[in-house]
Structure 1
Amino acid sequence: MFGLDMGIDLGTASVLVYVRGRGIVLREPSVVAIDQDTGAVQAVGEEARRMIGRTPGNIVAIRPLREGVIADYDVTQKMLDTFIRRVAGRRRLFGPRVVIGIPSGVTSVERRAVVEAAHQAGARQVYLITEPMAAAIGAGLKVHEASGNMVVDIGGGSTDIAVISLGGEVVSEQLRVAGDRMDEAITRYIRRVHNLLIGERTAEDIKIQVGTALPPQEERYVEVRGRDMVTGLPRNIRFGSSEAYEALQEPVLAILESINRVLEQTPPELASDIMEKGIVLTGGGSLLAGLPQLIAERTGIPVHLAEDPVSCVVMGTARYLEALSRLDLAPEKPARYAARH
């Protein structure tokens, strides 16, 4: 194999990898299990996710990306290296050319950390694209036209909101409130109201099964098992969608306020385009029941959920890869090279 083109959605919750000519070849949680005594990687992805909350003392399951940015550089590099090797194989003569989706609000330091981690993981050339731009492209929006498009990408660690026209972000905002904060809100609610401790996997399952952004018209329930804070013993409770709605108010309202701030800063001509075309929701967090309807109610603007919201960013990197052959774009320089020039 003489190298290949690869698009990566490096998300807080999961990593998706697209290979040119093969489609999406990898969807794995952004989790790495590390032996603290030796520093050796024990597991990566779904295998490591199953270990969360179940590891012995010397093994810790780490999520190296937090709130949309790299929190642990070394572990991120090991995770990327594992995924790139898994996809590209060991027979390649040249490293892959890689496009990575990053949040719109990252600092130059965080940007360099992503580039360096990819190069250390074996990438030959690295290109970066902001997640809202990639999401808009992946959702099929005509981003290069002189017309306003608004995309709200709700991931695991961050919500990226952007108004796009003529191939650029006119107004954008990154909010470090998204799917993970929703899980934390459910965990806090159950601890406060039911005196029950639950893990993050359980909270995510509750969000998926009964979570809602609107008051539920029909009550749904899920059995939740955790540890009683008083007795320390295992206990079950029946948790309903009305309680889930109450628990999720804070993160949902924070996302609504961020959308309103972006709309307030949008030039009138582009705002008119958005009123006509609507807001497009992407990312796994946008799958929360009732969220599109709530945003439409509060803004007065039509809201459309992308066809495959979870895959929009990685499909945007895929289309960006296709454009690289037509555009003369310079790849990002590794930090060591940049320091010498």
Structure 2
Amino acid sequence: MAQATPHSSFLKRLSRHDVAVDIGTANTLIYTADRGVVLNQPSVVCFERRAGAGEATVAAVGREAKELLGRAPSNLEPVRPLCNGVIADFSAAGHMMRRFVAMARTHRPLGRRASFTVCVPATANQVELRAIRETALAAGAASANLIGESLASAIGAGLPVASATGSMVVNIGGGTTEVGVIALGGLACCGSVRVGGDEFDRAIINYVRGLHGVLLGDQTVEHVKKTIGSALHGQPVETMRATGRSLDDGLPRTIELTSHDIADALAVPLRQVIGAVRQVFETAPPELVTDIADTGILLTGGGALLGQLDACLAAELGVAVRVADEPLTCAVRGAGLAAACLDAHAFARAFDQAALIR
């Protein structure tokens, strides 16, 4: 009888159609080993409530549902099921994930017995972890393994996670920023602060309201942040016009904003992010701190796309900082790579002991 080769074993693992999922506050991503990232959608679900119809039905999910935020008529209710990186509305999260999995199956089936590997915050408690696992199972997973966000991001970014040399990852998501130091395949120390892209948006809204007396909508602010957002006062100064509601008379009013305005607005939440990184440095072993001084800090997550953020953190921390390639998808790609390289038993054994898979 012919013995199985390492190559044939790897092909068998791929044939299981393992699926990696990153259910984020702002976006949900799904990854498969053979097709890469097959879904990247906003974490929003919209329910339609009809008079006398009883339970509400799902009207839209993802980008279609996000477009209804702030615009929906009374019979439609857009919901963001996650808050600060964890599930706040279990029922809405279940409906959203089932639709997302169905969307990911459009071009090729994920497999009836697909095993899900789901990214989770390192600071999530047991109740929050159970909610994430049950949401994955309700969406059709045969089983659900949980992997820490920092470790998954480090793997996806190509860092030498198995090395004794320490690496620091700062993952800035929609609801939280997670800081992790990785060495020898485990999480040596970590920290988290409930500041992310959503808090950046709120800071800009409050700044514009105080400076111009104009209330901007959430989607308008997100567009401003992505277009001229900056963490530093850089040159040349970028400008754009934005329209909101005047607080004086309630009428539409158009104002001009600059990249310097956005930098001023984001000063407070960025100080919180920097404070979280400093706290991890204070608790990390001196040897790992020395390693990070040599290798630098890696930024991942959608928040890492903010202009000049790497330069801002480098100036404050005195350590080289760089943004990962495709930072938004680092975590889900890393989770997928971890699942593809280990069978289910070895996967759980390897990471349970490091308190990274629970």
Sort the TM-score into its range (normalised by shorter chain).
over 0.9
Equivalent of residue 55 in structure 1, options 72, 79, 93: 72
TM superposition shift of 1:94: 2.5
Whether the 8 Å CA contact 2:16–2:113 is kept in 1: the answer is yes
Equivalent of residue 179 in structure 1, options 197, 203, 210: 197
Partner of 1:70: 87
Whether the 8 Å CA contact 1:28–1:46 is kept in 2: the answer is yes
Q: State the one-letter code of the partner of 2:82.
A: L
Partner of 1:22: 35
Whether the 8 Å CA contact 1:216–1:245 is kept in 2: the answer is no
Instruction: Name the CA shift for 1:288/1:96 in 2 (closer, same or farther; >3 Å).
Output: same
Query: Aligned equivalents of 1:36 and 1:202: distance in 2?
Result: 27
Whether the 8 Å CA contact 2:19–2:110 is kept in 1: the answer is no
For residues 240-270 of structure 1, the C-alpha deviation after alignment (integer angstroms, 9 at most, x for no partner) is: 1111111111111110111111011110111
User: Are positions 1:83 and 2:100 aligned together?
Assistant: yes
Instruction: Name the CA shift for 1:30/1:326 in 2 (closer, same or farther; >3 Å).
Output: closer
- The TM-score normalised by the length of structure 1 is 0.93
Which stretch of structure 1 is more off in the superposition, 32-41 or 43-52?
Answer: 32-41
TM superposition shift of 1:97: 0.8
Counting only pairs closer than 5 Å after superposition, residues 146-225 of structure 1 correspond to structure 2 as 146-225=164-243
For residues 313-333 of structure 1, the C-alpha deviation after alignment (integer angstroms, 9 at most, x for no partner) is: 1110111111232852449xx
User: Are positions 1:316 and 2:334 aligned together?
Assistant: yes
Whether the 8 Å CA contact 2:33–2:337 is kept in 1: the answer is no
Whether the 8 Å CA contact 1:15–1:27 is kept in 2: the answer is yes
Counting only pairs closer than 5 Å after superposition, residues 66-145 of structure 1 correspond to structure 2 as 66-88=83-105, 94-145=112-163
Query: Aligned equivalents of 2:311 and 2:242: distance in 1?
Result: 28
User: Are positions 1:233 and 2:246 aligned together?
Assistant: no
Whether the 8 Å CA contact 2:18–2:340 is kept in 1: the answer is no
Partner of 1:336: none
Counting only pairs closer than 5 Å after superposition, residues 189-338 of structure 1 correspond to structure 2 as 189-325=207-343, 328-330=346-348
TM superposition shift of 1:195: 1.3
Whether the 8 Å CA contact 1:211–1:245 is kept in 2: the answer is yes
Query: Aligned equivalents of 2:285 and 2:120: distance in 1?
Result: 25
- The TM-score normalised by the length of structure 2 is 0.89
Whether the 8 Å CA contact 2:339–2:347 is kept in 1: the answer is no
The number of residues matched between the two structures is 330
Whether the 8 Å CA contact 1:4–1:88 is kept in 2: the answer is no
Query: Aligned equivalents of 2:274 and 2:110: distance in 1?
Result: 46
Q: State the one-letter code of the partner of 1:23.
A: G
Whether the 8 Å CA contact 2:174–2:197 is kept in 1: the answer is yes
Q: State the one-letter code of the partner of 1:131.
A: E
Query: Aligned equivalents of 2:333 and 2:59: distance in 1?
Result: 30
Instruction: Name the CA shift for 1:311/1:92 in 2 (closer, same or farther; >3 Å).
Output: closer
Identity over aligned pairs, percent: 39
